[in-house]
Amino acid sequence: MIDINLIRNDPEKVKENIRKKFQDEKLPMVDEVSALDREYRAAQQQADGVRNQRKKKSDQIGMLMGKGRKEEAEAAKAENAELAKELERLEAKEEELKAEIRKRMLVIPNIIDDSVPIGKDDSENVEIQRYGEPVVPEWEIPYHTDIMARLNGIDLDAARKTSGNGFYYLMGDIARLHSAILSYARDFMIDRGFTYVIPPYMIHGDVVTGVMSFAEMENMMYKIEGEDLYLIGTSEHSMIGKFIDTILEEEELPKTLTSYSPCFRKEVGAHGIEERGVYRIHQFEKQEMIVVCKPEDSMMWFDKLWQNTVDFFRTLDIPVRTLECCSGDLADLKVKSLDVEAWSPRQKKYFEVGSCSNLGDAQARRLQIRVRTKDKKKYFAHTLNNTCVAPPRMLIAFLENNLRADGTVAIPEALRMYMGGKDHIG
């Protein structure tokens, strides 16, 4: 959510940002917010005026009663009662206008960074850099679930019977590899100075609306029937929510946290891409990283966060590239975003395995996460998040890039201590 002062002082900047995101249908909202805000501030002024009148009238009543002028005091009380009704009406109007303003402000997109490339959708995202040499071996790379099945590592049929499409059983060495990758990711991030956290896997609705846009919420979140609880789609949700309604001392920043969690997603409308395997699923696990910092430090942390993911994948012999998300591919709360994509030898192309986002003060403004300076001034923090690794999707890249001609899978040195010392499986 942007600062309403932007709409008050520079509505054209807000409109131009909407155009850059190719969301012209939202342009009228800027003028609507301006009009509602003027009406809201007028109601505030009127209410303040009535409060002053009531205070003066109360003082007058006290004076009249003190002088024994009971009849005049009763008349003043009647006038004060009318003022109370008027104040109640104005306060109700303020709340109504405030709600209408917030409803629109929640869907007006955040101001994107000047460095973001302009484009309509993900087809116009811009490759930044490649790390590692993408190799296509001489032997055929099977589909990832076929690799797993040959190693007795997956059962999709049983999962369909118990849970439906989009679920899986991982078994044996594949299940162990899955857990090893997460354990390694945990230690990798701890070694980089992040505090390890296991967060709640369910959160209240006010946290959901604080951390994401309504469109994302509708397409992602599972709601617990009859309760104000949602299953998290990523631990970023509960990790940022941890700071709701808090005032952080500036000298305590940055907060650098890395979290493990299962994740649950509807994946509404996300069909057609590697759908029969474990690329798009309703349940997976992830090692995440989040930062809460001062505004002037957020771009520095943005670069550190995505570099962590690149470095992690390179220690596992997986070639990756970084891709800057264009304006039309940015979710509404994001200031800037960069995807990390891993090389698929079977498909001979890269695919997304992680996403790094700088949200500016949008989440902090929604959740009231403020920072207090030494001289007691307050401002909204900046929040960032990034995926370190999210198996089983990451397993696709791992298996394809570490598959040998004889059907065995090489285990890079970094993972061997988590795999009982094995240098291969199969």
| pLDDT of amino acid 267 | 74
The answer as to whether 67 is a domain residue is yes
pLDDT digits 0-9 by tens, 35-79:
999 999 999 999 999 888 888 878 888 888 888 888 888 888 888
Give the tokens for residue 344.
């698929």
Higher pLDDT, 184 or 426: 184
H/E stretch holding 126: strand 126-131
Q: What is the pTM of this model?
A: 0.89
The answer as to whether 334 is a domain residue is yes
Task: Average the pLDDT over 1-28 and give the result.
Answer: 95
The answer as to whether 112 is a domain residue is no
| CATH number for position 36 | 1.10.287.40
DSSP 234-301: SHHHHHHHTTTTEEEEGGG--EEEEEEEEEE---TT--SSSTTTTSS-SEEEEEEEEEEE-GGGHHHH
131 and 86 part of one domain: no
134 and 95 part of one domain: no
279 and 377 part of one domain: yes
226 and 350 part of one domain: yes
pLDDT digits 0-9 by tens, 134-175:
999 998 999 999 999 999 999 999 999 999 888 999 999 999
Closest CA to 357 of 375, 378, 384, 397: 384
pLDDT digits 0-9 by tens, 299-339:
999 999 999 999 999 999 999 999 999 999 999 999 999 99
The answer as to whether 328 is a domain residue is yes
66 and 129 part of one domain: no
72 and 130 part of one domain: no
187 and 269 part of one domain: yes
| CATH number for position 379 | 3.30.930.10
* 382-389 vs 154-155, strand pairing mode: unpaired
100 and 147 part of one domain: no
Name the band, by pLDDT with cuts 50, 70 and 90, for residue 25. Answer: very high
Please say which residue of 105, 136, 165 terminates a domain: 105
Tell me the C-alpha distance between 73 and 51, whole Å: 19
Tell me the C-alpha distance between 59 and 317, whole Å: 79
| pLDDT of amino acid 84 | 87
86 and 38 part of one domain: yes
- Total domains in the chain come to 2
| pLDDT of amino acid 274 | 46
pLDDT digits 0-9 by tens, 84-131:
899 999 999 999 999 999 999 999 999 999 999 999 999 999 999 999
68 and 197 part of one domain: no
The whole domain housing 191 covers: 122-425
362 and 249 part of one domain: yes
∠ CA(384), CA(229), CA(268), 5° rounding? 70
| pLDDT of amino acid 66 | 83
CB 16 within 8 A of CB 30: no
Task: Average the pLDDT over 24-41 and give the result.
Answer: 96
Name the band, by pLDDT with cuts 50, 70 and 90, for residue 231. Answer: very high
Tell me the C-alpha distance between 267 and 375, whole Å: 46
CB 254 within 8 A of CB 294: yes
The answer as to whether 314 is a domain residue is yes
| pLDDT of amino acid 276 | 65
Closest CA to 104 of 44, 26, 41: 26
The answer as to whether 224 is a domain residue is yes
| pLDDT of amino acid 280 | 83
The answer as to whether 115 is a domain residue is no
The residue assigned the tokens 């099977």 is 142
Please say which residue of 75, 105, 135 terminates a domain: 105
Tell me the C-alpha distance between 172 and 174, whole Å: 5
CB 181 within 8 A of CB 402: no
Q: Give the 3-state DSSP-derived string for 187-245, with helices as H, strands as E and coil as C.
A: HHHHHCCCEEECCCCEECHHHHHHHCCHHHHHHHCEECCCCCCEECCCHHHHHHHCCCC
Phi-psi region of 90 (alpha: psi -120 to 50; beta: other; left: phi over 0): alpha
Please say which residue of 105, 132, 149 terminates a domain: 105
Name the band, by pLDDT with cuts 50, 70 and 90, for residue 273. Answer: very low
pLDDT digits 0-9 by tens, 170-221:
999 999 999 999 999 999 999 999 999 999 999 999 999 899 876 777 778 8
Helices then strands, counting H and E runs in the chain, come out as 14, 18
215 and 278 part of one domain: yes
